[in-house]
Amino acid sequence: MLAAKLDEETRLIARLREGDESAFEELVRREGPRLLAAARRILRDEADARDAVQDAFASAFRALGSFERQATLSTWLHRIAVNAALARLRAQRRRPEVAIDELLPTFQEDGHHATPPAPWASAEALVAQRETREFVRTAIERLPQSYAEVLLLRDIEELDTATVAELLGITENLVKVRLHRARQALRALLEPRFREGAI
């Protein structure tokens, strides 16, 4: 099964490199919806997500000659689409980085929270609601860009730490640190809404 799939991919890549238009159409039809879903998770605007996917396919077609098959074609395209979406996100959010420290929890000398986090209402019930997803997305956008990117890629896009580090050009350790701090800051931003009894 796997061998057959690899053979099919090899044939498709060969057709793409030969400039076969039907191969390009096949690739866009097969991979387009998944890439668009990834771009939508990073970008809020449908037009921006579609533009990012179009940019990704254009980049992929230009770079096809250098594709070395260290990953599957699908994985390679996904990375290119995520990069294209991140580039659009960065262009939209060009603003000075703000400190994240004020959103992080504070601790007493004994290690306990200075202000213990209040229990949240049923998060499962809240997340199911569209307005709650919108609220969470808006809260993520309030994070400094370098933290929001890591959070989007790890928790929303579900990429592994090594892939996120490679995409962002930072170390895996820095990804872990930023992710931890971003999650803490996001919790502080969401606290007023999710606090038990707040709804």
Residue intervals in the chain for CATH 1.10.10.10:
102-194
Pair of tokens at residue 77: 């395209």
65 Cβ neighbours under 8 A, 6+ residues apart? 17
Mean predicted confidence (pLDDT) in 111-123: 68
Cα–Cα dist 149/96, whole Å: 15
Residue intervals in the chain for CATH 1.10.1740.10:
2-92
Name the residue with higher pLDDT: 147 or 114. Answer: 147
CATH class of 2-92: mainly alpha
Which range is most confident: 13-22, 31-40, 66-75?
31-40
Instruction: Give phi and psi for 198, each to the nearest 5.
Output: -75, -20
Name the residue with higher pLDDT: 35 or 107. Answer: 35
Residue 125 has pLDDT above 70, yes or no: no
What's this model's pTM, rounded to 2 decimal places? 0.60
Host H or E run for residue 167: helix 161-168
Residue 173 has pLDDT above 90, yes or no: yes
pLDDT of residue 176: 94
CB 157 within 8 A of CB 42: yes
pLDDT of residue 6: 64
Mean predicted confidence (pLDDT) in 50-68: 88
83 Cβ neighbours under 8 A, 6+ residues apart? 56, 167
CATH number of 102-194: 1.10.10.10
pLDDT of residue 36: 92
